[in-house]
Amino acid sequence: MLKSKLKTTDLHGVITALITPFDQHSNVNLTKYDELISLGWAGGVSGIVALGTTGESPVLNAEEWLAVAKQAVSSSPAGKPVIIGVGTNSTATTVKNSFLASDVGADGVLVVTPYYNKPTQAGLERHFLMVADESPLPVILYHIPGRSGVGISLELTLKLAEHPNIIAIKEAGNDVWRSSEIARKASNDFVVLSGDDNLTLPLLAVGAVGVISVISNIMPMPFVKMIDAMLSDELIQARDWHQVLSPLLNALSLETNPSPIKEALNIVGLEMGQVRPPLAQVSESTHESIKIALNELKNLL
């Protein structure tokens, strides 16, 4: 039995992977966070994810983490899904974070593959099952081998999908066929979400039902229109939106996320601050690429 109101039917369309704004002194800026969240809801997003990698969770201290989680919930309308990134490379800490997410009123948790430890598939199975057994909230797996150093095999994904408290996977492994197989073979109680804005259209074509998105921090409405068109079988319209957004999608992938999306938000005057070390502000060439792409889309801002 699921331990929260969050259901697979809530996981559709565009779910924004929120950045965490900082002020000029690199302190968390909750006022700007509220502004960013409101922008997304006004743009029609279906849900939000706070404290994922895009939210720079590895460089937040415990007090900041909790404050951001609370703000994500308090800034969101009742009934709208709020998912908190709780994954770490410690199973015990991940479980603890899931309880903290529940305490602040979140609806679900995003659990990334443990990074640096590089567990075997047996270790991953042990980790995710322990988290799912203990978590008071439904679990969304996060498969991103390029950043965590290890991926969840297709076979293990399908096995984990049978757990009643594991309801979805965020797929960021650049593998359309794999996503297709998960969507085809897993039960209807388990869904695939794209974790890569650039590949969302093909992933939706093979069975994904939505995306945990970066670009929707700044372009929620156009990206929602693209996803909604695709989910409504309006393929030409979805393709046209994809092509309109492609220059910005490309610019936002030139350097490590979330440096480019923060730069984009700052360029348009939303003043979300810079990334914390060990990340760095984007290069001048990347800045120019983002600026050019945004200028082409200024009528959509």
Give 300's contacts (C-beta < 8 A, 6+ positions apart): 219, 221, 222, 244
Q: Looking at the predicted structure, is the pLDDT value of residue 77 above 70?
A: yes
Work out whether the CA dihedral 125, 16, 92, 187 comes out positive or negative: negative
Select which of 3, 7, 32, 170 is catalytic.
170
| The two structure tokens encoding residue 169 | 């996977």
pLDDT tens, position by position, 118-133: 999 999 999 999 999 9
CATH topology of domain 8-232: TIM Barrel (3.20.20)
The catalytic position among 32, 33, 142, 225 is 142
How does residue 3 score in pLDDT terms, banded at 50, 70 and 90?
very low
Is pLDDT above 60 for 150? yes
Q: Residue range 152-167: average pLDDT? A: 97
Taking residue 247's Cβ as centre, other Cβ atoms within 10 Å add up to 17
Q: Where are the domains of the chain?
A: 8-232
**Would you say residue 239 has pLDDT above 80?**
yes
Q: What pLDDT score was predicted for residue 165?
A: 96
Q: How confident is the model at residue 188 (pLDDT cuts 50, 70, 90)?
A: confident
What local confidence, expressed as pLDDT, does residue 301 receive? 84
| 70 catalytic residue (yes or no) | no
Q: Looking at the predicted structure, is the pLDDT value of residue 254 above 80?
A: yes
Amino acid in position 84: I
* 7 is annotated as an active-site residue: no
Measured in whole angstroms, the distance separating CA 101 from the mean position of its chain's CA atoms is 16
